[in-house]
Structure 1
Amino acid sequence: MKRIVLSGTGSGVGKTTISTGIMKALSDEFKIQSFKVGPDYIDPSYHSCATSIPSRNLDSFFMSDGQIRQSFKNGMQHSKAKYGIIEGVRGLYEGISPVSDVGSTSSIAKALNAPVILIINSRSLVRSAAAMVLGFKALDPEIKIEGVILNNTKSEKHYLKTKKAVETLTNTPVIGGIIRNPDITVKQRHLGLIPAVEKDTIAGMVEKWGELIKENIDLDMLVEIMKRSDDIEDDYAPIWSETTTKQKTKVAIPFDEAFNFYYRENIEALEANNAEIEYFSPIHDEVMPDADALYIGGGYPEIFKKELSSNTSMLKSIKQFSDDNNPIYAECGGLMYLTRSIDDMPMVDVFNYKSTLTKKVQGLSYTIADVIQDNPILKKGQSYHGHEFHYSKVEYTGNNKNDFALEMKRGVGITGKYDGLLKNNTLASYVHTHTASMDEFAYNFTQNAL
């Protein structure tokens, strides 16, 4: 399994643009499986657009080293890809701790024994770029930095001077550089790029990024570095429980402009538990499909609140599904959809509270929660890791701890202390979960649907 990690020296180095461009350029010749380090749904949607293969996440907060290796192997085997390209998160060594690897790109590189290409924002840098490379190499000798890409160079002359400095002083090849160009930037939404599900907006941009990479990066050298990647340690751990549901169920999953944030392995875990997935659109379809359970992921329902609110037949069908005590699990955007309203526009109203958008981020962190009530996906007494990222709040007006299934130990949730509103057989939470951190997720959900 040939692979490479593309990592920045920090935020704002153009890592996603360059990584997506490389994936696009190489996809014209090879089958590429893309991965993203960390709890990110937006960047992977760009990757999927570039490669035409669903991207996957690797995260050492959710996963053990063995699970990281298994997740990588799953992706490569599912797609039958020749190369795996992993986009890092923030700087190479940034994680949840100032001194350990957990949550960092470096932890993924080490678990997979993967070579690293370092992307540097070299604006106004020449010899200092070499100093950065030396520092990154010295901090952890286990990390194999085998190439450098210089971004935001002022000119061809500047690029060549910086290339000479890096290669001469660090003995690390520079495989290309990008002269700064405002035409290749895209607008931001919240703290991320606009979601690539808006294909008309970004398809042309991804094409442009691919052409830019072909013109400025030595792709032959990049492929050669991947070909030289050493074997991955033969030590794997399962992503979901080996105890699986034997009876068949149908799980409905919305996937459209409003709801599109799902970890691929959560869905694969459901399928491994004999679930048949029924995709549908809360915007375009009249009612939800005939199913035994409903899993509503995150996305941007606030942007499509008018369309969601006007589809009253869909709202009624989902409300009835909950009232009939069928299992529903909803995350973040799904939570908002199940409240009474989003910015006063009527929604499903399983939970009779308003959700409203805010100018400031309300929750942005990895989370740890204790389960305080049995629910469709977890049992009381369990604990699990997740993450949250929301510019909204649910205006909870009750005062009963029993309204919630989760007590937050790290993170904000709905109230700052509690998360996971629970009613009928419906659980709705701001926390996004990954099966690797709660291996009985799919088993419990499908069992609940019988």
Structure 2
Amino acid sequence: MHNQFLTLNRPAALITAPGSGQGKSMITAALARLHRNAGRKVRVFKHGPDYLDPMLQELASGQPVYQLHPWMTGEEECRWRLVEAAMDADVILVEGSMGLFDGAPSSADLAKLAGIPALPVIDAWGMAQTFAAVAQGLAQFDPELPIYDVIANRVGSQRHTDILKSALPSNLRLLGAVPRHEAMSIPDRHLGIVQASELNNLDAQLDKAAQLLKEQGLDRLPQSVTLSGYRPTPLPRYLEGTRIAIARDTAFAFIYRANLDALKEMGAELSFFSPLTDTELPDADALWLPGGYPELHAARLAENTQMRDAIWAHHQANKPILAECGGLMYCASQLRDIEGDNHALLDLLKGQALMQPKLQAIGLQSVQTSLGELRGHTYHHSIFDTHLQPVCRARIQAGTEAEPVYRQGSLIASYFHGYFPSAPALVADIFTQQTCF
């Protein structure tokens, strides 16, 4: 027997682009802030595995942001999160990833699954009538995907806007043209945009960006669509009473909200600590060291010997530790930063994390065990130089072995980032028994 099925109508759009770097993150954030400032409740979602854009969208909307990805989070969860948001939101925006049709499943696949039209943001810098060709190409590529409007970004003048508008075919409307403006730019670094918490004036900048969009007539609500989905079955209470301490600061911030929700739903008691500034751990049965930017804070992490001793003692007591990506780097004997300086870290994994000038791995992967398939992704600029042998490897979607998973006593570490709701029994095992590795 199926769980409760809900259907609701709400204005919704998937903000996308022909490719990365067209400005869709800031356009989405500015739209969210624009509607929020108009007194509407806005919910924003992000297609695919991404930690940084959701931080921006949460600040813009004032509401929690969750990932939607038909493979990683599952189709049913995508539908449910949208209809759940529609229960009290006035408008729903989904930020796509990469280009509209890039990846498998792509942003277009999500839009079709959810029944939401795509709204492309096209960088019009250095373009005139070709803008219309790009827009028409996106609109015609997949007949099953509705595209009614487009947004021109970084336009130079009213004359430029008029040219773009007049070139569009009758089936497409220019929803708005956003001029080149400092309010629409956000700094980035090697893993993406700078974390929202690190930008002091971002809140005021979002208000300026929202006003800019309002002046261009972009305050119209998206078209209303029908959203529907089944309420999920509650997760079993696998972690009843288990205390999990989670590293969270500017060095360790890559945490899916859905992961925290899943841990709590399974009964875990969560507490947070900062490896940068705290000198002791909260009382905990298990530790989670998530990803982030330890390479930017390696000196401070190395200097905080009291925290290093506390984590060492936790490990010596044979209590579980999960270290993901930046967490793995923190567990290494040393970290060599991009300037070539070495920093002594936890030394729980014998080896050296070495920053590289280029991206080393990116893409969707999963770890398969007898307790389920944990889905997620990898994205890192360092390598781990070690003689340790992995206990298993994550696999890319095609099945090829990829990221190694290491185990040292009660520590499980990998560059792989897991999406916990995809395999709750396995996640509970990682934080308690660790029988699967």
Paired AA for residue 407 in structure 1: R
SS at match of 1:197: helix
- Would the aligned equivalents of 2:191 and 2:380 in 1 still touch at CA under 8 Å? no
Question: For the residues of structure 1 that align with 2:431 and 2:394, how far apart are their CA atoms?
Answer: 25
- Residue 10, structure 1, aligned to residue 10, structure 2: no
After superposing the two structures, state which structure 1 stretch, 80-89 or 178-187, moved more. 178-187
- Would the aligned equivalents of 1:271 and 1:277 in 2 still touch at CA under 8 Å? yes
| Post-superposition offset of 1:237 | 5.5
Match of 2:94 in 1: 86
Paired AA for residue 21 in structure 1: A
Question: For the residues of structure 1 that align with 2:85 and 2:335, how far apart are their CA atoms?
Answer: 36
Paired AA for residue 359 in structure 2: V
Question: For the residues of structure 2 that align with 1:139 and 1:236, how far apart are their CA atoms?
Answer: 33
Match of 1:99 in 2: none
Match of 1:315 in 2: 308
- Residue 139, structure 1, aligned to residue 147, structure 2: no
Match of 1:189 in 2: 189
Question: For the residues of structure 1 that align with 2:239 and 2:300, how far apart are their CA atoms?
Answer: 38
Q: 1:171 to 1:410 in 2, by over 3 A?
A: closer
Question: For the residues of structure 2 that align with 1:74 and 1:445, how far apart are their CA atoms?
Answer: 29
Paired AA for residue 123 in structure 1: W
| Post-superposition offset of 1:142 | 2.1
1:288 to 263, 281, 300: 281
- Residue 47, structure 1, aligned to residue 57, structure 2: yes
- Residue 152, structure 1, aligned to residue 145, structure 2: no
- Would the aligned equivalents of 1:134 and 1:170 in 2 still touch at CA under 8 Å? no
Q: 1:187 to 1:335 in 2, by over 3 A?
A: same
| Post-superposition offset of 1:437 | 3.1
After superposing the two structures, state which structure 1 stretch, 327-336 or 348-357, moved more. 348-357
After superposing the two structures, state which structure 1 stretch, 202-211 or 146-155, moved more. 202-211
SS at match of 1:200: coil
Paired AA for residue 410 in structure 1: I
SS at match of 1:367: strand
2:68 to 23, 47, 58: 58
| Post-superposition offset of 1:236 | 6.0
Paired AA for residue 267 in structure 1: L
Match of 2:3 in 1: none
| Post-superposition offset of 1:383 | 4.0
Question: For the residues of structure 1 that align with 2:394 and 2:428, how far apart are their CA atoms?
Answer: 23
| Post-superposition offset of 1:285 | 1.3
Q: 1:83 to 1:321 in 2, by over 3 A?
A: same
Q: 1:144 to 1:237 in 2, by over 3 A?
A: farther
Question: For the residues of structure 1 that align with 2:85 and 2:352, how far apart are their CA atoms?
Answer: 39
**Number of aligned residue pairs:** 416
1:409 to 383, 395, 411: 395
Paired AA for residue 139 in structure 1: F
- Would the aligned equivalents of 1:353 and 1:397 in 2 still touch at CA under 8 Å? yes
Q: 1:186 to 1:109 in 2, by over 3 A?
A: same
Paired AA for residue 47 in structure 1: Q
- Would the aligned equivalents of 1:260 and 1:297 in 2 still touch at CA under 8 Å? yes
Paired AA for residue 91 in structure 1: G
Q: 1:442 to 1:185 in 2, by over 3 A?
A: same
| Post-superposition offset of 1:417 | 5.3
- Would the aligned equivalents of 2:42 and 2:91 in 1 still touch at CA under 8 Å? yes
- Residue 427, structure 1, aligned to residue 408, structure 2: no
Question: For the residues of structure 1 that align with 2:335 and 2:56, how far apart are their CA atoms?
Answer: 27
Match of 1:249 in 2: 242
Match of 2:214 in 1: 214
Deviations 1:142-193 (A, max 9, x none): 2121321111222111102211322xx2322221111223564233201411
Question: For the residues of structure 2 that align with 1:143 and 1:8, how far apart are their CA atoms?
Answer: 14
| Post-superposition offset of 1:346 | 1.7
- Would the aligned equivalents of 1:153 and 1:178 in 2 still touch at CA under 8 Å? yes
Question: For the residues of structure 2 that align with 1:260 and 1:430, how far apart are their CA atoms?
Answer: 15
Match of 1:31 in 2: 41
Paired AA for residue 79 in structure 2: R
- Would the aligned equivalents of 1:358 and 1:393 in 2 still touch at CA under 8 Å? yes
TM (normalized to structure 2)?
0.88
TM (normalized to structure 1)?
0.86
| Post-superposition offset of 1:73 | 4.1
- Would the aligned equivalents of 1:44 and 1:55 in 2 still touch at CA under 8 Å? yes
| Post-superposition offset of 1:261 | 0.5
- Residue 95, structure 1, aligned to residue 103, structure 2: yes
SS at match of 2:259: helix
Question: For the residues of structure 1 that align with 2:239 and 2:368, how far apart are their CA atoms?
Answer: 28
- Residue 276, structure 1, aligned to residue 269, structure 2: yes
Question: For the residues of structure 1 that align with 2:328 and 2:343, how far apart are their CA atoms?
Answer: 15
- CA-based RMSD: 2.3
Question: For the residues of structure 1 that align with 2:96 and 2:64, how far apart are their CA atoms?
Answer: 17
| Post-superposition offset of 1:8 | 0.8
Q: 1:270 to 1:323 in 2, by over 3 A?
A: same
- Residue 438, structure 1, aligned to residue 431, structure 2: no
Q: 1:388 to 1:48 in 2, by over 3 A?
A: same
| Post-superposition offset of 1:46 | 0.8
- Residue 390, structure 1, aligned to residue 380, structure 2: yes
Q: 1:73 to 1:279 in 2, by over 3 A?
A: farther
Q: What stretches of structure 2 of length at least 5 have no aligned partner?
A: 1-7, 337-341
SS at match of 2:208: helix
Paired AA for residue 109 in structure 1: A
Q: 1:419 to 1:31 in 2, by over 3 A?
A: same
Q: 1:305 to 1:145 in 2, by over 3 A?
A: same
Alignment of 1:326-365 (within 5 A): 326-343=319-336, 344-365=342-363
Match of 2:4 in 1: none
- Would the aligned equivalents of 1:27 and 1:51 in 2 still touch at CA under 8 Å? yes
After superposing the two structures, state which structure 1 stretch, 122-131 or 186-195, moved more. 122-131
| Post-superposition offset of 1:268 | 0.4
- Would the aligned equivalents of 1:269 and 1:442 in 2 still touch at CA under 8 Å? no
Match of 2:119 in 1: 117
SS at match of 1:302: helix
Question: For the residues of structure 1 that align with 2:81 and 2:412, how far apart are their CA atoms?
Answer: 27
Match of 2:82 in 1: 72
SS at match of 1:421: strand
| Post-superposition offset of 1:392 | 0.9
Question: For the residues of structure 2 that align with 1:68 and 1:255, how far apart are their CA atoms?
Answer: 26
Question: For the residues of structure 1 that align with 2:298 and 2:182, how far apart are their CA atoms?
Answer: 32
Question: For the residues of structure 2 that align with 1:83 and 1:325, how far apart are their CA atoms?
Answer: 48
Question: For the residues of structure 1 that align with 2:320 and 2:271, how far apart are their CA atoms?
Answer: 15
